[in-house]
């Protein structure tokens, strides 16, 4: 299940992020890669434990905490501190096909999570670069994703994925993982579909309609049935 969440950051927030990031020293992206992915990874990252990564990452987590579509899609338990990367055409940056590590530990906070979902938050506009598509493989085939700056995609961390070579300009993004309260991807998908339908019903017939109330109860009981907290 691929889910796009639009406008996680405003355009002015994105501009502020980019201005701050432009003034930073970047390092080889392989510092956070696993053994297999290090072989195919070619990009740069902000130091994961650095002050800038933490401050900007906290701004992303704050924005997500107030985003109903994100909460509905991810049912998040823990969000890993966001990381930041860039792919430059001049350096032939790319990230070949790989799968993300199943468990991630954060050195600073001691947080350790199971990576149920991967997230990419785009910080460059599509016009700024060629190539650099995020390609995610799932049961239904291969999907190419390139979103506007400030928009984010969520996809199962269990899937093979890659970033195609950037052939012009620079692709800047934030990426991170999260552990969901609902481990099973199919159950999570059902919960998201149900919530989306309830929100549409609320718009049409109101939150107080007896059937809306009943379905809202089903939603919460489904979470109660599936959630690990
Ligand atoms: Ni990855």
Q: What is the pLDDT along the chain (229 residues), one digit of tens a residue?
A: 899 999 999 999 999 999 999 999 999 999 888 888 888 989 999 999 999 999 999 999 999 999 999 999 999 999 999 999 999 999 999 999 999 999 999 999 999 999 999 999 999 999 999 999 999 998 889 999 999 999 999 999 999 999 999 999 999 999 999 999 999 999 999 999 999 999 999 999 999 999 999 999 999 999 999 999 9
Asked if 163 contacts 33 with a C-beta cutoff of 8 angstroms, the reply is no
* Rounded distance from Cα 224 to ligand 1 centre (Å): 31
Q: How far is the CA of 149 from the centre of ligand 1 (A)?
A: 19
Nearest residue to 36 (alpha-carbon basis) of 85, 115, 98:
98
d(CA 89, CA 188) in angstroms, rounded, equals 37
Residue with tokens 């956070």: 32
**CATH class of the region 3-180:** mainly beta
Interval between CA 190 and ligand 1 midpoint (Å): 25
> Residue 34 has what pLDDT?
82
Nearest by Cα to 158 from 120, 112, 103: 103
State pTM to two decimals: 0.95
Q: How far is the CA of 67 from the centre of ligand 1 (A)?
A: 23
Q: Would you report the helix, strand and coil content of the chain in percent, each value rounded to 5?
A: 40, 30, 30
Rounded distance from Cα 158 to ligand 1 centre (Å):
10
CA distance 122 to 110: 27
CA 205–ligand 1 middle distance (angstroms): 42
Q: How far is the CA of 83 from the centre of ligand 1 (A)?
A: 12
Closest CA to 86 of 37, 21, 142: 21
Parse the chain into domains and list their residue ranges.
3-180, 185-226
Q: Exposed, middle or buried, 215 (CB in 10 Å: 0-12/13-18/19+)?
A: middle
């Amino acid at each position: 299940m691929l889910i796009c969440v639009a406008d996680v950051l405003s355009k002015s927030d994105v501009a502020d992020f980019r201005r701050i990031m432009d003034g930073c020293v970047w390092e080889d992206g392989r510092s956070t890669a696993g053994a297999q992915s290090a072989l195919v990874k070619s990009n740069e990252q902000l130091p994961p434990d650095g002050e800038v990564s933490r401050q900007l990452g906290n701004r992303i987590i704050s924005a997500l905490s107030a985003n109903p579509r994100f909460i509905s899609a991810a049912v998040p338990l823990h969000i890993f501190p966001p990381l930041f990367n860039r792919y430059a055409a001049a350096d032939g940056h790319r990230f070949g096909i790989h799968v993300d590590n199943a468990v991630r530990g954060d050195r600073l906070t001691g947080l350790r999570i199971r990576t149920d979902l991967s997230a990419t938050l785009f910080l460059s506009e599509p016009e700024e670069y060629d190539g650099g598509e995020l390609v995610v493989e799932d049961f239904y085939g291969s999907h190419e994703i390139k979103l506007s700056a400030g928009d984010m995609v969520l996809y199962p961390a269990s899937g093979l994925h890659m970033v195609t070579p950037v052939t012009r300009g620079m692709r800047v993004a934030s990426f991170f993982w999260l552990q969901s309260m609902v481990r099973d991807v199919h159950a999570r998908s059902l919960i998201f579909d149900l919530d989306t339908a309830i929100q549409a019903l609320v718009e049409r017939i109101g939150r107080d309609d007896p059937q809306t109330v009943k379905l809202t109860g089903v939603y919460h009981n489904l979470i109660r049935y599936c959630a690990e907290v």
